[in-house]
A = this chain, B = another copy of it.
């Protein structure tokens, strides 16, 4: 693996999932593999789980980690070519990435979409600039359109909890007070559609994801019908792709609650966190055994470690 920015970078999904599960069983498998290797973690946007789980994963491999919060530590980057930089951006991403690349062996980068300009966001200019100019392997810590470390952890969570061979997995939109990216749902579909799952997506009309990601997966606009017989319900809000970045609907009846699961197959509920209680998912689920959200977040460490280990193979 040269970079890890989407499922397209993964040679064998089966092998990567298996590797992650083995790490979950025993994290200190390769405690010296990353010795004298430095992982730079660059955050354009705040991070809790991703930062700590990836830092922990790197430590498990013996790597050193340097964390840089570009947001709060004050470094706004210009991304356009040919600009006369006399505004408030002090550095161009071409120089910033090339410089940081020299100090690191691997680079993780988080950069959220602005949700104002779809074409710009979906062009992934920040992530792609790091790939193009840093000269080092890049790990996406969530980009404008994808969150692959989350998706790998999600798949592993399903694999560890499924009770029969081909579970029914439903990804359900839920309401949220703020406009959120499509990266987690895009990525979830991209990964789970490669698994042997009965995958259904449910959301109000107008919330259709990009066909690039949806790729023929079944949409069921009736949430109740979608949830019938489900084994896993993946809950997530996102803003509209069509009317880009807009909140079209705040219908509270889309919140996932115990009552909603009555016709499910005693479904396990997942969410990438942070989750707004009693807005996205009711607390009667979050505080029950049906919730997998904590285990799912725990799996982030093992997913990151599997990916780092693969990338280290390539730079050794």
Q: Which residues of A contact B (CB under 8 A)?
A: 28, 31, 36, 38, 40, 46-49, 51-53, 55-56, 59, 64, 66, 68-69, 72-75, 78, 81-87, 90-92, 94-96, 98-100, 102-104, 177, 273-279, 283, 286-287, 293-294, 297-298, 301
Contact = CB atoms under 8 A, between A and B. Distances in A.
A48 B90 CA distance: 12
B86 A276 contact: yes
B51 A99 contact: no
Given A31-B36, A298-B99, A277 B78 contact: yes
Contact of A83 (B83, B273, B278): B278
Contact of A293 (B72, B85, B95, B274): B95
Contacts of A64: 59
B68 A52 contact: yes
8 contacts: A78-B277, A82-B278, A84-B278, A86-B276, A87-B177, A90-B274, A90-B276, A91-B275
Nearest to A85: B276
B273 A95 contact: yes
A42 to B, nearest CB: 10
A34 to B, nearest CB: 12
Given A277-B78, A294-B98, A68 B84 contact: no
A74 B275 CA distance: 15
Question: How many subunits of this chain does the assembly comprise?
Answer: 3
Contact of A59 (B38, B82, B298): B38
B274 A103 contact: no
Contacts of A103: 52-53, 55-56, 298, 301
A36 B83 CA distance: 47
B85 A301 contact: no
A90 B177 CA distance: 10
A36 B26 CA distance: 13
Pick from A36, A68, A277, A301 the residue with the most CB of B within 10 Å: A277
A56 B276 CA distance: 36
Contact of A56 (B38, B73, B75): B38
Contact of A294 (B28, B72, B95, B293): B95
A193 to B, nearest CB: 27
A12 to B, nearest CB: 27
